[in-house]
């Protein structure tokens, strides 16, 4: 089964936004053709971003529906399956070293 890709015409809002961004970043001496090419590249980037966001939204929706369906299918069981995300924050050592050195320098200055 072959899948055909359709190139839908970009929305006027996307075209206007891309052209606005291209003009905002325009360099002196840049031709209109170059600006148009840049606007087209920006437009393709915007379209690709929108496609990615739609795909992510579909996946989230599928996962949510799957969870709801599994909860409805087995209401008598008290085992709950939840997806828990654990956020791990890893701090860099450089700010702490700079803080200690600055306080040490301040203390040494006061001891003089």
Are the C-beta atoms of residues 40 and 64 closer than 8 Å to each other?
Answer: no
Closest residue by Cα to residue 10 from 46, 38, 35, 34: 46
Assess whether pLDDT exceeds 80 at residue 8. Answer: no
Per-residue pLDDT at 2: 52
Per-residue pLDDT at 45: 92
- The whole-angstrom separation of Cα 99 and Cα 79 is 48
pLDDT digits (tens, 9 = 90+) for 57-69: 999 999 999 988 8
pLDDT digits (tens, 9 = 90+) for 58-98: 999 999 999 888 888 776 555 555 667 787 777 888 989 99
Average pLDDT over the chain, rounded to an integer: 84
Model pTM greater than 0.75?
no
């Amino acid at each position: 089964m072959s899948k055909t890709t359709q190139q839908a015409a970009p929305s006027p809002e996307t075209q206007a936004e891309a052209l606005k961004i291209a003009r905002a970043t325009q360099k002196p001496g840049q031709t209109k053709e170059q600006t148009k090419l840049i606007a087209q590249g920006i437009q393709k980037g915007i379209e690709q971003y929108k496609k990615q966001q739609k795909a992510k939204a579909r996946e989230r929706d599928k996962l949510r529906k799957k969870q709801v369906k599994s909860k409805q299918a087995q209401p008598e069981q008290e085992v709950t399956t939840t997806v828990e995300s654990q956020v791990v924050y890893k701090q860099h050592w450089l700010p702490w070293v700079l803080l200690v050195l600055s306080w040490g320098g301040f203390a040494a200055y006061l001891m003089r």
